[in-house]
Amino acid sequence: MQIDFDLNPKDLESKLTDFWKLSGQKIIDIEKNYDSSNGAPVFTINGKYSSRGWTEWTEGFQYGSALLQFEATGDEQFLKIGKDNTVNKMGSHLTHIGVHDHGFNNISTYGNLLRFMNDGLIPYNEWEAEYYKMALKVSGTVQGARWTDTKDGGYIYSFNGPHSLFVDTIRSVRILMLSHFMGHQFKGENDQIISLLERGIKHIMATAKYNVYYNEGRDKYDEWGRTAHECIFNVNDGNFRSPNAQQGFSGFTTWTRGLSWAVCGFAEELEFFQKVPESAFPEAYPKAVLIALLKKGAKATCDFFIENTAKDGIPYWDTGAPNLYKLGDYKAVDSNPYNDFEPIDSTAAAIAAQGLLRLGKILNDDKYTKAGLTSARALLGSPYISEETGHQGILLHSIYHEPNGWDNVPTGQKIACHESSMWGDYHMRELAIYIDKMIKDKPDYAFFNCLEDFRNK
């Protein structure tokens, strides 16, 4: 990436105004025309949202998008869409024992609504607030129960099963923090109290140790900041066995959306734990140790993103994609989603840009702040923002599962491109909200703003 150190949040203001106008049109189109009986919308095919049965991890992004649209514009029709759908359709996600995605679905909906009350965007109603809190408490507990012990800790296992640690879950683990700091008790056999905070910390530590590389000689492919999508453990003895990939090219290459989850997740958890008092941490996991680990993970993954991304700040889907070499020195030129060889993943940029901005503020380091703004500027313009009235997505050139060939290749193209995804659209809106608040000098958008004791003020 060629970082533009002269770029400021204010420079993106007019692009954001245009973005929110288009965004609202897309949300209304989906609400009116998408058939929810087919399952949650996942990605577009020729511009129309479709479902893809694997796990139900995107429905919260659909309704969360409407809530963010309300936050940005004050238009209450979007509050109604988000609120009504959350109440009527999101209940099953609170008790879904088969996924590692609780922090995605339920913070995007119940968490945003509770945050709105704390921020004064909607009237505070005690019973309504308690409803949102109870949802988050339950969701965090169900997520925390999805647990595998290891030789040196443990982790929340992925939908693949107890042997599988996904890098994605570094962002979903937030739901355990909310549940814990809302005072919820997770009880097991014989009424044993299981600390959700401790499980969350152990998961963060496992992700930092096994999914992230630090150029410390771990294997031949150890490089500062690269990530493995999945880590495999022997559940019989708790030992680590190998890196792997589900949606990336291999366990020894870096799937860039997995990298972006780490970029954003480490930065968010660092931001949160800095606010938590030392006395709240378990004795075995001192605050200073965790802060140092989060800083290392955040800096490493952010550095890798910056070094392995096209000039304009948008990455290809995997840094080891087999035909990437045919593009030549792709990092020296702007990204090209319509090339003949390997897809772009714009969603990785939208997710990572938010993490870069957060880390830049935490460390007071312009490199990360300006890198986040550089990616955001590219995403807010052509060819990434969809201005087509018939296209239901807002962020173009998303990739879901390149190895499985799930993504649409439009007529006349050789690779998947020009489509959107529900997670990409949502995270693009989160990024826009974050930059909006930077421009207006408002308190930062953060998941923990639904916790009254820790929220940004």
Q: What is the pLDDT of residues 418-455, one digit of tens each?
A: 999 999 999 999 999 999 999 999 999 999 999 999 99
Q: Which fold has domain 9-450?
A: Glycosyltransferase (1.50.10)
Name which of 325, 332, 342 is nearest 311 in CA terms: 332
Answer yes or no: is pLDDT of 71 > 90. yes
Local confidence band at 317 (pLDDT 50, 70, 90 cut-offs):
very high
CA atoms of 428 and 446, how far apart (whole Å): 15
Residue 301 buriedness (CB in 10 A; 0-12 / 13-18 / 19+) = buried
Answer yes or no: is pLDDT of 53 > 90. no
- Dihedral sign, Cα of residue 363, residue 368, residue 370, residue 375: negative
- pLDDT, tens digit, for every residue of 352-400? 999 999 999 999 999 999 999 999 999 999 999 999 999 999 999 999 9
Looking at residue 96, its pLDDT comes to 96
Phi, psi for 227 (deg, rounded to 5)? -130, 155
Query: How many angstroms from the chain centroid is the CA of residue 140?
Result: 17
Q: Indicate the helix (H) or strand (E) that contains 164.
A: strand 164-166
- DSSP category for residue 252: T
What percentage of the chain carries pLDDT values higher than 70? 100
Mean predicted confidence (pLDDT) in 135-142: 98
Token output for 388: 């087509």
Mean predicted confidence (pLDDT) in 273-300: 97
Looking at residue 364, its pLDDT comes to 98
Mean predicted confidence (pLDDT) in 294-307: 98
* Domain residue ranges in the chain: 9-450
Mean predicted confidence (pLDDT) in 131-146: 98
Answer yes or no: is pLDDT of 273 > 90. yes
Mean predicted confidence (pLDDT) in 33-56: 93
